[in-house]
Amino acid sequence: MEKTKIENAFNELETIIKAGAPIVEVVSYEIQRIHGFINTIAKKLNRKWYRWSQIRGLDIWDQDTKEFINKSSDTKDPEAILKVFNELEKASILILEDFHPFMDSENFHEIVRYLREISFINKEQEKTLILVQPIKRIPIELIKELPIVEVELPDREILKVIFEAVVSSYDLETSEVEESDNLIEAALGLTTMEARLAFSKAIVDSGKLTEDSISYIIKEKENIIKKKGLLEYFHPEGDLDSVGGLDILKDWLRRRGKAFKRGAKDFGLDTPRGVLLLGVPGCGKSLCAKAIAEVWNFPLLRFDLGKVYAGVVGQTEQNIRNALDIAKALAPCVLWIDEIEKGLSGVQSSNQTDSGVSARVFGTFLTWMQEKKEPVFVVATANDISQLPPELLRKGRFDEIFFVDLPSQEEREEIFKIHLIRKEREPSNFQIKKLTSRTKGFTGAEIEEVIKEGLFRAFDEDKILNTEHIISAIAETNPLSVTMGKVIAELREWAKFKAKFASSVQSDVTFSEKDLEKTDKIPKLKQELNNPFMEESL
């Protein structure tokens, strides 16, 4: 059986300790799980193990009583505990919990010096110092000496252990407990402590822990993810049929969805990576992201790249890793990045403007896109292709790039019907052909808005909504195709060469020579045009 990433992390840590590494960094929020790791390793290797925190000082784990015994409360100073480590007996392990704040303290250089000295301890002493902290915080002086083990968020097996531990702590009847795959899956993406609390709150609130508790667990998870501020947990509404037009894109998504089913991997299919949707604002790109999650029955996470940036050195890079870790833990899921060009706008000038932070964030994201094995399907949307780094568009990042154009007359007819039905109006009571002919150049969002405005007008007149109410709203609307004609024309021209059109029906909106400024050459991204070695610059 293939080992889980958590088992791999455990084995990697054991191997590092056996190999005689004097100092290791373990990146994890979960001290209890790390204690479990270390206790298992210590018993196998016949070693004593200690832990240190600034609150308690130094504790030793007693294998007989199964509890920590305080050895010294006088070692709360970080420098003091590093000195104590040197004095510990052979064959011992010391965990320093949440040591990272001391890396920014006034005596930073002294601490680094002590750690560097520890890194030179003779292997034969069989002593290991383990820094357990939620973020990577390695001084540059220790980069070459300090191995890192990253522990993933709990998988299904660990969550089952938490489930059973919580249930055993309550006096519940057999009928009040139901361990199901769906219930365990609902807790994916939480730490062990968060999962324990969510299960416990469900029991306290309803007196049971069954499949009926799933909605409660998901709500708790939604609040926890929202609190972290990096991702939003969405409840998708509507399927692909609620999206007007875009038949080629919808067929492609239905086929890709089957690749997540059982047997697909054995058949030789790779796990779908994602799709990039380019096009006019308001033409259904974001609606497609929500519909995909609903049709595939996947959790939907919205990722605002702008939220990862932080003022503390190193925190921005850690934020994007944390966000991607949550997505991996929730897999299979849909990760929706709306208007991705805004989150990546500073990449090209990063080294001059932010010491390379934006470039490192982008690099982390690209590497993850390229190497991820988990079924996290990325749906990225973009309105302005010129602001996207060329590296993002390289083959292998996304499975496909689709261009979402202004809807054709046939598609506008479909969109009108969808929105009228949504407002509980019968489309046959309206002159749909007349409405579609009057809305040439309108986006789907603009069509929705004229129906809403028509409803206001009908309500104001105390009448039933009719075609004329909507037409009067249309007459007062200035569509994007008028105000952004040149931008849309350039985007459409770019898509002819580098993307697939999302619809088989060509848009009936055409642009003037002035708008298009036709050229025989393929339009370039701004970054490409800035390259002095590109053909246009020579």
- Please tell me whether residues 30 and 51 are part of one structural domain: yes
| pLDDT, averaged across the chain | 85
Q: Is residue 511 one of the residues assigned to a domain?
A: no
Quick check: is 509 in a domain? Answer: no
> Predicted confidence band at 489 (pLDDT cuts at 50, 70, 90)?
confident
Mean pLDDT throughout 461-485? 92
334-351: pLDDT as tens digits: 999 998 888 776 665 555
Whether the predicted pLDDT of 70 surpasses 50: yes
Mark whether 299 and 381 lie in a shared domain: yes
Residues 6+ apart with CB under 8 A from 317: 136, 357, 360, 361, 364
Domain with residue 244: its CATH number is 3.40.50.300
Q: What's the pLDDT band for 4 if we cut at 50, 70, 90?
A: low
Give percent above pLDDT 70 in the chain.
90
User: What span, in angstroms and rounded, lies between the C-alpha atoms of 270 and 260?
Assistant: 9
Tally of structural domains, the chain: 4
Q: How confident is the model at residue 1 (pLDDT cuts 50, 70, 90)?
A: very low
Choice among 168-172, 266-270, 357-361, 460-464 with the minimum mean pLDDT: 357-361
Q: What mean pLDDT comes out for the span 405-418?
A: 93
Residues 395 and 254 both lie in one domain: yes
Question: In this structure, are 374 and 283 located in the same domain?
Answer: yes
Is residue 531 a part of any domain in this protein?
A: no
Task: Say how far apart CA 104 and CA 314 lie, in whole Å.
Answer: 12
Q: Look at residue 534 and tell me whether its pLDDT is greater than 70.
A: no
Mapped onto helix, strand or coil, the DSSP state of residue 491 is: helix
Does 484 reside within a domain?
Answer: no
- Domain boundary residue among 432, 462, 478? 478
DSSP codes of every residue in 105-169? STTHHHHHHHHHHHTT--GGG-EEEEEEESS----GGGTTT--EEEPPPP-HHHHHHHHHHHHHT
- Three-state DSSP state, 16: helix
Q: Are residues 42 and 177 in the same domain?
A: no
Pick the more confident residue, 82 or 41: 41
- Say whether both 133 and 181 belong to one domain: no
Q: What SS3 class is residue 268?
A: coil
> For residue 538, what pLDDT band results from cuts at 50, 70 and 90?
very low
pLDDT tens-digit series, residues 362-409: 888 888 888 888 889 999 999 888 788 888 888 778 999 999 999 999
Pick the residue with more confidence: 337 or 315?
Answer: 337
In the β-sheet with 23-27, what is the strand arrangement from edge to edge?
67-72, 57-62, 48-53, 92-97, 127-133, 23-27, 148-150
Q: Name the more confident of 209 and 229.
A: 209
Domain-located, residue 515: no
Distance between CA atoms of residues 288 and 157, nearest Å: 33
pLDDT tens, 74-120?
777 777 788 888 888 888 999 998 888 777 666 777 888 888 888 88
Residue span of the structural domain in which 258 resides? 240-403
Q: What pLDDT sits at residue 526?
A: 53
Q: What is the pLDDT of residue 537?
A: 42
Indicate whether 389 and 260 sit together in one domain.
Answer: yes
Q: Are residues 244 and 209 in the same domain?
A: no
Could you tell me if residue 498 is inside a domain? no
**145 in the same domain as 47:** yes
The answer to whether residue 512 sits within a structural domain is no
Domain end, chosen from 117, 150, 183, is at 150
Q: How confident is the model at residue 412 (pLDDT cuts 50, 70, 90)?
A: very high
- Most confident range (mean pLDDT) of 218-222, 278-282, 301-305, 452-456 is 452-456
The dihedral sign for the CA sequence 218, 223, 225, 230: positive
337 and 415 both lie in a single domain: no
Q: Which of 205, 228, 251 is a domain's end point? A: 228
> pTM value?
0.76
Q: How confident is the model at residue 47 (pLDDT cuts 50, 70, 90)?
A: very high
Let me know if residue 491 belongs to a domain.
no
Identify whether residues 287 and 381 lie together within a single domain.
yes
Q: Are residues 128 and 9 in the same domain?
A: yes
Rounded Cα distance, 328 and 343, in Å: 20
